[in-house]
Structure 1
């Protein structure tokens, strides 16, 4: 099976009310729909990159919202939003309803007008869904990879993993750094240049994998 990351650009008149408000250059610029249900009349969980007051302003644009609850956390605000309808364009809803793929959260609305999301399915089913959605809205394929039941961990060598563990132990990654590469080298019983190289390679592997999954 394939797991495909898509980006769809909606024109302003077709965008969801939350998406249109994010594009207005307000204090909130991103909304990640984390949990939603199969019908409109359920509570969705959405994370915004803004303070509760900014999120209240964004949600005021959602006429279908029948109830909201806000919780500030994780450098933003979680919103529990109950709606009477999705308020997404009919063409998008029809493409989703008629598809033979599953959708992996989050659905991320960006201030740029782009909606980013992932779909999982057999190659033919994913291609069919892509064709249907792209026929209605400008849609791009960002990434294609094999679907795995669990996210694939970064592929570190044993020595790279030991270097990271040693770095954490000596305080190398503390916010106020209390350990040095020399300390890591002492833990690993190797030269500082070797320890530095191990850390750089391990960091490159871990961060590249993290950004690719974000």
Structure 2
């Protein structure tokens, strides 16, 4: 099983109305489709990197909107929407419906017109989906990874996690720094060089996963 992150630039005629509303002069630069229902009545949870007024203006671009609820949070605004239609072009919906892959949230709509999303499945199914979608959009593969049944914030060993916890407790990451690698070594009962290596590897794993999630 593989998971692939795609970036798709759709022509204007195939852009979702909500995406069209944030391309150009909108104060919204990024919208994320976080959850969606598998039913005909399109119920979705989105996040916008703008305030309530900007988010309201964006969602009002949806002719299918039946009800909305907006909540400030996470540096932007959450929007719980109920629609009577998803409003995606039929050609795109048909391509998605006929694919043999699964789509992983979030689907990210960006102000530059690109849509970023991840799909997971068997290699041959992902390849077929890529070929079909490439007929509709300028498609780029940004990353290919093995699919993991469980996703954790970082790929840490127990020892690396213990080193990070000891560093936090010692104040190692405070500003100004209140602890040292020697304090971590004392907490773990190991050599200072070992503690330093554990911290470096743990930090590298955390940073790598943080970058991958963008």
Residues 48-63 of structure 1: pairs in structure 2 closer than 5 A: 48-63=48-63
Q: How big is each residue's C-alpha offset from its partner over 1:52-73, in whole Å with a ceiling of 9 and x where there is no partner?
A: 1110111121222121110111
CA contact (8 A) 1:65 1:84 kept: yes
2:129 corresponding residue in structure 1: 129
CA contact (8 A) 1:52 1:77 kept: yes
Deviation at 1:178, TM superposition (A): 3.7
1:92 corresponding residue in structure 2: 92
Deviation at 1:28, TM superposition (A): 1.6
The secondary structure found in structure 2 opposite 1:130 is: helix
CA contact (8 A) 2:42 2:85 kept: no
- Cα-Cα RMSD: 2.3
1:118 corresponding residue in structure 2: 118
**Distance across 2 between alignment mates of 1:139 and 1:124:** 17
Deviation at 1:147, TM superposition (A): 1.8
Give the TM-score taking structure 1 as reference length: 0.87
Q: Which runs of 5+ in 1 are unaligned?
A: none
CA contact (8 A) 2:3 2:118 kept: yes
Residues 23-38 of structure 1: pairs in structure 2 closer than 5 A: 23-38=23-38
1:165 corresponding residue in structure 2: 165
* Alpha carbons of structure 1 residues 25 and 198: separation in structure 2 relative to 1, 3 Å: farther
**Distance across 1 between alignment mates of 2:42 and 2:158:** 46
**Distance across 1 between alignment mates of 2:101 and 2:191:** 51
Deviation at 1:196, TM superposition (A): 4.2
Q: Alignment length, in residue pairs?
A: 214
Give the TM-score taking structure 2 as reference length: 0.87
**Distance across 1 between alignment mates of 2:156 and 2:59:** 43
